[in-house]
Structures are given as structure tokens and as C-alpha cells.
């Protein structure tokens, strides 16, 4: 269903000069977001009748919809175009993301990257897969911070977190100052192309899908205090890492843990 929506909406529009509009400072929405979300919502309603569907653009119009995450029924989270800014700029680094959340725990996820031709799926207890191939993330070497490959998304950092990171980032050899989008960054860690990414804003549709992909492959997604990420918890700060040891070392190295 996700691939079908991508073929109908995302692929024909890519590189065609689609315009975006700013819905909040630095946050863009396009007709692709608006056309894809109802199709995904309808498709999920047909596949799983009775399950609420919470989409990013629907929440923009009615924030109370997020309350469904704290209910007792499974809820679908939908991000119809993760990486809208990248899409509008002509970058292939964007994705469609879905997550099924049951009483605060993500139990299934789909991340489809239309331009890269890759579909990642995960099920709680069932592992992480890319187009039928099971994936496993080997641990990194947390003993050498300078050798770890990682990034910090600085845009939403709190003043305290920014000061801590700026005082400690010299410990890391190549700390990228920005990321593409969650639908690309989480799979990069799963595929051992990166070892960690620190996010600060943690909207549920951005992180529930990728966090399950990562944890089912052997990685971790934790808060700065070390607690496990849950999509019904909207606190700031989330570290995605190759393994628990790497997460502890990165948080301590950045002055956050």
C-alpha cells in the first residue's frame, strides 16, 4: 500500500518543482504531504478497521488527535513525507513512514524511501528487514569517540544542551552538524553507515518507525537519562545508536549523560 501511494504521488512529483509553504518557522508542507496522507490513512483504515490513524498533517490541524497514543487501542502514526525540505530541494533523501503503536509501545513499522527504492520493515520481536533481507547491526567501538561516525541535529537544542555539546564536541572526530531526515538517518545506523544520531525534538511520527527498525536490528534509541524511547513520551532529546555501550559513551562524551 505504501509503495502504491509513493508511485501515485511522490515519484511523479519528484523533481517537478513542487512548491512548499511554511507551516511554522523552518517547517514546510507541500501538496505531496497533503495528497499522500489521506491515501495512507484510507489504506490503513481498510487494512485494520477500527484502528485510529494519526497523521502529521492532521495533527497540525487538530493537535488533540495525539491523545489517541495514550488510549487502549492500537494506533497508526503516519508521516506522509518525512524530509519535505529535502524533497523540495530535489534530494532523494526522503521517506514515507508508518508505525503501529499499542499502549505506548511501537509494534510494527514501515519506512519506504521512494527514490532510493528501499523499503524497511520491522515487527516487535520479529526483526528488521530491507526488501526481504534481514538486517543486524553489529556494535560499534565506544572506546574511541573520535572514530565514531555521528551527527547532532542542533536546530531544536535547549540552551543547556547546546552549551554542553559545544564544550565537548572536540572529543568527536567528525561530528556532523545536521541530519537529513529520520527516515534516512535511522536506516543509516542500521546499515552501519553511521554509529549514532542525536535528535532533540521527538515528534512521534518522526521517531517511532525508525526507533523500532533500529532496536529490532540490535541498536538502541534512548533518552539522555538512558531510558528507552516511547512514542507516547514527548520529552526532548533522543539518541539513536548502534548499541547500548555506544549510546552511553556518546551521551557522556557530549556532556549529556
Tens digits of residue pLDDT in 65-85 = 999 999 999 999 999 999 999
168: CATH: 3.40.190.80
Burial of 250 (0-12, 13-18, 19+ CB in 10 A): buried
Residues 212 and 103 in one domain: no
Residues 107 and 209 in one domain: no
Residues 104 and 222 in one domain: no
Let me know if residue 201 belongs to a domain: yes
| pLDDT tens per residue across span 149-178 | 999 999 899 999 999 999 999 999 878 766
Q: Which of 135, 168, 203 is the last residue of a domain?
A: 135
95 closest CA partner among 175, 18, 20, 36:
36
Let me know if residue 183 belongs to a domain: yes
Residues 161 and 238 in one domain: yes
Residues 116 and 157 in one domain: no
Let me know if residue 140 belongs to a domain: no
Residues 245 and 164 in one domain: yes
Q: Which of 117, 135, 153 is the last residue of a domain?
A: 135
Residues 241 and 121 in one domain: no
Is 160 annotated in a binding site? The answer is no
CA angle 30, 120, 83 (to 5 degrees): 25
Q: Which of 135, 155, 187 is the last residue of a domain?
A: 135
Residues 14 and 37 in one domain: yes
Residues 48 and 153 in one domain: no
In the block, cell 488533540 appears at 64
Is 203 annotated in a binding site? The answer is no
Residue 23 has pLDDT above 80, yes or no: no
The whole domain housing 171 covers: 145-253
Report the mean per-residue pLDDT for the chain.
95
In the block, cell 501515485 appears at 8
14: CATH: 3.30.540.10
Let me know if residue 240 belongs to a domain: yes
Is 102 annotated in a binding site? The answer is no
Distances (CA, A) of 169 to 64, 130, 144, 223, 252: 38, 33, 13, 19, 11
Let me know if residue 89 belongs to a domain: yes
Residues 54 and 83 in one domain: yes
Residue 126 has pLDDT above 90, yes or no: yes
Residue 127 has pLDDT above 90, yes or no: yes
Residue 257 has pLDDT above 90, yes or no: no
Q: What is the mean pLDDT of residues 198-206?
A: 96
Let me know if residue 224 belongs to a domain: yes
Residues 150 and 130 in one domain: no
Let me know if residue 245 belongs to a domain: yes
Let me know if residue 20 belongs to a domain: yes
| pLDDT tens per residue across span 91-105 | 999 999 999 999 999
Residues 84 and 175 in one domain: no
Number of domains, the chain: 2
Amino acid at each position: 500500500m505504501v509503495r502504491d501511494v509513493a508511485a501515485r504521488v511522490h515519484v511523479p512529483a519528484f523533481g517537478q518543482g513542487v512548491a512548499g509553504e511554511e507551516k511554522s518557522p523552518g517547517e514546510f508542507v507541500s501538496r505531496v504531504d497533503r495528497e499522500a496522507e489521506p491515501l495512507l490513512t484510507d489504506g490503513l483504515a481498510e487494512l485494520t478497521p477500527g484502528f485510529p490513524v494519526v497523521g502529521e498533517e492532521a495533527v497540525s490541524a487538530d493537535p488533540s488527535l495525539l491523545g489517541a497514543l495514550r488510549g487502549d487501542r492500537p494506533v497508526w502514526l503516519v508521516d506522509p513525507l518525512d524530509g519535505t525540505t529535502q524533497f523540495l530541494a530535489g534530494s532523494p533523501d526522503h521517506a514515507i513512514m508508518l508505525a503501529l503503536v499499542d499502549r505506548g509501545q511501537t509494534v510494527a513499522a514501515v519506512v519506504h524511501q521512494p527514490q532510493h527504492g528501499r523499503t524497511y520493515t520491522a515487527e516487535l520481536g520479529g526483526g528488521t528487514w530491507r526488501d526481504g533481507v534481514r538486517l543486524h547491526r553489529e556494535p560499534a567501538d565506544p572506546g574511541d569517540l573520535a572514530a565514531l561516525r555521528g551527527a547532532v541535529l542542533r536546530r531544536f537544542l535547549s540552551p543547556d544542551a547546546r552549551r554542553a555539546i559545544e564544550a565537548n564536541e572536540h572529543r568527536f572526530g567528525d561530528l556532523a552538524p545536521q541530519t537529513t531526515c529520520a527516515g534516512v538517518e535511522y536506516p543509516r545506523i542500521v546499515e552501519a553507515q553511521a554509529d549514532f544520531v542525536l535528535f532533540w525534538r521527538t515528534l512521534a511520527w518522526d521517531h517511532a518507525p525508525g526507533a523500532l527498525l533500529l532496536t529490532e536490528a540490535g541498536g538502541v534509541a534512548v533518552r539522555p537519562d538512558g531510558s528507552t524511547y516511547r512514542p507516547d513520551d514527548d520529552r526532548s532529546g533522543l539518541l539513536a545508536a548502534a548499541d547500548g555501550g555506544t549510546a552511553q559513551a556518546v551521551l557522556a562524551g557530549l556532556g549529556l549523560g
